[in-house]
Chains A and B, each alone.
Chain A
Amino acid sequence: EVQLLESGGDLVQPGGSLRLSCGASGFTFSTYDMGWVRQAPGKGLEWVSSISPSGADTYYADFVQGRFTISRDNSKNTVYLQTNSLRAEDTAAYYCARGSPVATYYFDYWGQGALVTVSS
């Protein structure tokens, strides 16, 4: 059974940093693209970032503006999202998701979400 489990969500002050982690199990992690999608309270879904199976290629939404870094450790079956210079508008549930065999940006399995709250 495919499982994705996020951790690292927290309350952080504006300008602060957090590292989100997503542990994967139930599939050959090193052969799949992985991504992060976020959802602000009461709002819709918004793609944040994706990473290729090897980690060599990374992709970001424009709003990231160099503040976030996605990475992965295939030996630990874990993908990370380092978030820096956080703003109030980054407050959201951050979902880790697997890119499907069909297409990199079709996410066929999702974690339960990690809540990031940016507030003073």
Chain B
Amino acid sequence: DIQMTQSPSSLSASIEDRVTITCRASQGISNSLAWFQQKPGKAPKPLIYGASSLQSGVPSKFSGSGSGTDFTLTISSLQPEDFATYYCQQYNNYPPTFGQGTRLEIK
């Protein structure tokens, strides 16, 4: 199975900050990488697929990049509603696998 490793595991940031979360795959996955946002007690919300394509309805403050094994999620101008846990997921190889999550907290 492909292992997905996110860094950092947790991150403190302030309102209006710009943050970047990294996801690394244990082997190449082309651009078959998705990002999800999850708030406590809620289902994951898809943000990005294909490493850089925004899911419908997701604001452009979220952006993704990368290909192969290294990927990033960038969130610009943080607002209170952006503080959540973020997960990456590869869907290039079976079985699909998720990163361990990055918890984004208010500083």
B46 lies within 8 A of chain A by Cβ: yes
- The answer to whether A103 and B95 touch across the interface, beta carbons within 8 angstroms, is no
- The answer to whether B91 and A45 touch across the interface, beta carbons within 8 angstroms, is no
Contact with B along A21-63 (1 / 0, CB 8 A): 0000000000000000100000011110000000000010110
- For chain B, the count of residues having a C-beta within 8 Å of the partner chain is 23
Number of A-B contacts (CB under 8 A): 54
- For chain A, the count of residues having a C-beta within 8 Å of the partner chain is 22
Residues of A within 8 A of B98 (CB): 44-47
A112 lies within 8 A of chain B by Cβ: yes
Please list the residues of chain A having a beta carbon within 8 angstroms of any beta carbon in chain B.
37, 44-47, 59, 61-62, 95, 100, 102-113
Please list the residues of chain B having a beta carbon within 8 angstroms of any beta carbon in chain A.
32, 34, 36, 38, 42-46, 49-50, 55, 87, 89, 91, 94-101
